Amino acid sequence: MMNPIKLIEDLFEDRNLSDANLRAFCEDMLQRLSIPINNPGGIYLPLITTTSARYAAFFGQMTNAATKKAVSEGLTQTMEANKKVMIDFISDLQNLVKFIFRETSATYQEFYPQGMTEYHHATLAQLPMLIQRYLNAANDHLIATNPAEVADLVISINAFNTARAAQTTVFAEVETLQTGRRADRKLLTLQLTTNMLTVALNNLENPDHYNNYYNPSYLPLTDKAFSINGLIAPGATITAVNEGVITQSSTVTLYNNGNEDLLFSVSDQPNTLHPTYRITIAAGNEDHFDDLPVLERYYVIIQNPDYTATGKWKVKVG
């Protein structure tokens, strides 16, 4: 029977979930949310920003360099996309302003004193002044005759300003001092729950894509039969499945769902291919390890030998 109460529970409220695993899960999720293909149009920017702040309040400085880089790149991509939309809109309005006020008029000069050149070549430090000047001119001269255009201009400016603010503040937030308070952990686990539910709403009846956003092997009481999938950057080596999930009796099935050959390994070290237990799987194919070697611990490691393209993978543990 369906139990709707489950939808309002804190998914990460578990005494068996250690701070170390919570940290690893959070950093992994931030990386996954920041990957452009997982964050179309920057739709998860609010989740990234708030999760980073909650992370900072509980753990303090974000030491994971890969996470920092991923979040930074994700925020920068979102900011640049919104910047382009805004500049393109200002460019599109140029003909309207010319038609209404004539290019030689003083009013036109309020909008475009140097044409579009200064907007296209402005630094991020210069843009706020230029944007405000343009908005002032629009409110003075266009809002009466073209209110819809001014409204759309304001929307594009606000989107850029929001993305820019997130980009410039997120790492200031993650540099705060560690507190370790119970309340801070609770805020973080609730935010991670919000992330999971938000992503779930965007991927209803599409579990394979939903699995791209988190790694269940960090969590306690993980069902030993589970699957996880994700992306691997060009030239990267990643730990796809962590210690504590696989035993010698497990069956590990490996899928290469991308367009480039990938190297898979069962290893006793994180982020390190085993010298013996490794296989190359061609694009679109799958393989498996039925009889695992006797190792002290088990990880699944994936390497993308292609330095130009992102790979796509899936691992099923049974």
In terms of average pLDDT, the best of 17-26, 72-81, 263-272 is: 263-272
Task: Tell me which residue range forms the domain holding 142.
Answer: 78-167
Output the six-digit token pair for 20: 């170390």
13-27, 42-56, 174-188, 260-274: lowest mean pLDDT where?
A: 174-188
Sign of CA dihedral 258, 263, 266, 268: negative
Q: What distance in Å separates the CA atoms of residue 226 and residue 171, rounded to the nearest whole number? A: 34
Pair 31, 66: CB distance under 8 Å: yes
Residues 148 and 231 reside in one and the same domain: no
> What average pLDDT score do residues 86-107 get?
92
pLDDT computed for residue 132 by the predictor = 92
- Among all chains, which residue has been given the structure tokens 């044409």? 115
11 pLDDT more than 90: no
Flag whether pLDDT at 179 surpasses 60: no
What is the residue-averaged pLDDT of the chain? 84
| C-alpha distances out from residue 91 to 84, 150, 152, 175, Å | 10, 13, 13, 38
Residue 287 lies in a domain: yes
Lowest mean pLDDT among 64-78, 121-135, 239-253: 64-78
Is residue 61 domain-resident? no
* Bridge partners, residue 267, by sequence: 299
Do 150 and 232 belong to one domain? no
* 182 within some domain: no
Q: Are residues 86 and 157 in the same domain?
A: yes
Phi, psi of 249 (to 5 degrees): -85, -5
Mean pLDDT calculated for residue range 17-38: 86
Q: Is the pLDDT of residue 178 over 60?
A: no
Can you tell me the distance from the alpha carbon of 226 to that of 222, in angstroms, rounded to the nearest whole number? 8
162 and 232 belong to one structural domain: no
* 3 vs 213, residue with greater confidence: 213
**Cβ-based burial of 207 (10 A; exposed 0-12, middle 13-18, buried ≥19):** exposed
CATH (domain of 243): 2.60.120.10
Confirm whether 258 is domain-assigned: yes
Residue-wise pLDDT tens digits, 110-148:
999 999 999 998 888 888 899 999 999 999 999 989 999
Domain count of the fold of the chain: 2
pTM of the model: 0.49
Query: Is 282 a domain residue?
Result: yes
For the ranges 201-205, 266-270, 288-292, the lowest mean pLDDT is seen at 288-292
Percentage of the residues of the chain whose pLDDT score is greater than 70: 88
Residue 243 falls within a domain, yes or no? yes
